[in-house]
């Protein structure tokens, strides 16, 4: 496997990336971090591991922030793929926090003391590097525990944190409830991690989608081919190999999971029947919207009184996606303004209620909406 810098330079040479001083600096910093990690002993050898001993020195982690499509996830891919140690983990930040809350619930049931130290120890076990995609904080439950949790992970257990975010550290959880409890986490990030901005002129995600519509109709193979092409442009996964795209399970909390038929690089693909035909609520759709920056939804039929439950769930889904500024690509039976069928008996009141969803669906196709970062207010 070639190194990070060689892979990065190959992307430049192929024209897939354009020269960008901030991006190049981040690549160099990540490569330097790799060298530190690969040359350092893992906890002082076998005896050190048995005694729970931390390495004598801990490399500084990295917090990369910038607008959508600036190559942050691409750099994270290169870093994780070319890092030649086994004690590493990469996870989407939202999925990680769902895991943390589940571990805390279990710890509270089985222990009487502070649950954060044992949870941090369990997470850090056999791990030296923890890499996150899209750090964003949207709720007080996360904000209240993050300072203590990450202090334990970084300071007590010596984990190296590498993360991406759409926001500078000081802008995280801005105007959030009880934000004063979150401020020590911002101080921790600025003290223990190098903060690098990636706000270059090129939005690679939008560039890849240039000239491509997000709403495709009517239902049929041509529309399906269009969303397959969108998936390819966002993930580099060849359309002809669509059957082999990895799936995933999204933790919804309370021992409930949502099966994601196709899940790759922050892009999820669902059929309308799976996502809106099963009993789901707003919390489920919000978890989905927090976990993925793009959703591809195929097979949206005409909606209305004849399928009122599915219609209501679709409205709730769109609200959640819109709130988190998720990009939406669809195949549908009709344009948004023609999607609601009042039926032979007429159902104008239902149509009136659906009009807000129509307005949002139209806005979600706009260039301004597409340029927003995931979770951006």
- The residue among 344 and 341 whose pLDDT is bigger is 341
C-alpha span between 6 and 3 (Å, rounded): 5
- What is the average pLDDT score of the chain? 85
| Residue 1 reports pLDDT greater than 50 | no
Alpha-carbon distances of 16 from 8, 12, 236, 296, rounded to whole Å: 10, 6, 11, 24
| Residue 369 reports pLDDT greater than 90 | no
- Write out the two tokens for 47: 């005896």
Start-to-end Cα distance in the chain? 40
**Sheet containing 267-271, strands listed edge to edge, beginning at the edge strand earlier in sequence:** 215-216, 327-332, 294-300, 267-271, 262-264
pLDDT at res. 200: 65
Global pTM value: 0.64
For 62, residues 6+ apart whose C-beta sits below 8 A from its C-beta are: 26, 29, 30, 33, 161, 162, 163, 193, 194, 196
pLDDT, one tens digit per residue, over 252-293 is 877 788 899 998 878 899 999 999 999 999 989 998 998 888
Structure confidence at residue 46 as a pLDDT band (50, 70, 90): very low
* Delimiting residues of CATH 3.40.50.300 domain(s) in the chain: 4-197
C-alpha span between 132 and 182 (Å, rounded): 19
Residue with tokens 């789901």: 280
Phi and psi dihedrals of 255, rounded to 5? 60, 25
Q: Which long-range contacts (CB under 8 A, 24 or more apart) does 50-56 make?
A: 54/157, 54/158, 55/128, 55/158
Closest of 226, 201, 228 to residue 211, by C-alpha:
226
What average pLDDT does range 51-75 have in this prediction?
76
Structure confidence at residue 333 as a pLDDT band (50, 70, 90): very high
Among residues of the chain, what percentage have pLDDT more than 70?
A: 87
pLDDT, one tens digit per residue, over 222-236 is 999 999 988 888 887
What average pLDDT does range 159-182 have in this prediction?
88
Structure confidence at residue 44 as a pLDDT band (50, 70, 90): very low
Note the CATH number of domain 4-197: 3.40.50.300
């Amino acid at each position: 496997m070639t190194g990070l810098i060689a892979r990065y330079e190959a992307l430049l040479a192929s024209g897939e990336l354009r020269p960008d001083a901030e991006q190049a600096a981040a690549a160099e910093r990540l490569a330097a971090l790799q060298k530190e990690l690969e040359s350092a002993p893992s906890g002082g050898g076998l005896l050190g591991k048995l005694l729970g001993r931390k390495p004598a020195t801990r490399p500084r982690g990295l917090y990369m922030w910038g607008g959508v499509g600036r190559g942050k996830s691409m750099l994270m891919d290169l870093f994780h793929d070319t890092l030649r140690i086994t004690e590493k983990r990469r996870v989407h930040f939202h999925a990680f926090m769902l895991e943390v809350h589940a571990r805390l619930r279990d710890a509270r049931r089985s222990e009487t003391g502070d649950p954060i130290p044992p949870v941090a120890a369990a997470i850090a076990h056999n791990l030296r590097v923890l890499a996150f995609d899209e750090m964003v904080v949207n709720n007080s439950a996360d904000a209240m525990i993050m300072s203590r949790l990450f202090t334990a992970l970084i300071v007590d257990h010596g984990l190296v944190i590498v993360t991406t975010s759409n926001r500078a550290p000081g802008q995280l959880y801005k105007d959030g409830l009880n934000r004063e409890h979150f401020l020590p986490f911002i101080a921790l990030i600025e003290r223990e991690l190098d903060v690098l901005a990636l706000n270059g002129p090129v939005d690679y995600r939008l560039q890849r989608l240039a000239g491509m519509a997000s709403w495709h109709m009517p239902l049929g193979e041509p529309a399906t081919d269009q969303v397959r092409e969108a998936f390819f442009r966002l993930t580099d996964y060849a359309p002809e190999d669509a059957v082999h795209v990895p799936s995933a399970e999204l933790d919804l909390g309370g021992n409930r999971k949502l099966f994601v038929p196709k899940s790759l690089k922050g892009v999820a693909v669902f059929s309308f029947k799976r996502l809106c035909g099963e009993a789901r609520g707003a919390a489920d759709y919000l978890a989905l919207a927090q976990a993925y920056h793009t959703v591809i939804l195929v097979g949206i039929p005409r909606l209305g009184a004849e399928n009122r439950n599915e219609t209501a769930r679709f409205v709730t889904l769109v609200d959640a996606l819109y709130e988190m500024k998720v990009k939406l690509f669809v195949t549908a039976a009709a344009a948004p303004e023609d999607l609601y069928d009042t039926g032979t008996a007429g159902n104008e009141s239902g149509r009136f209620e659906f009009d807000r969803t129509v307005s949002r669906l139209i806005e979600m196709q706009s260039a301004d909406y597409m340029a927003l970062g995931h979770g951006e207010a």
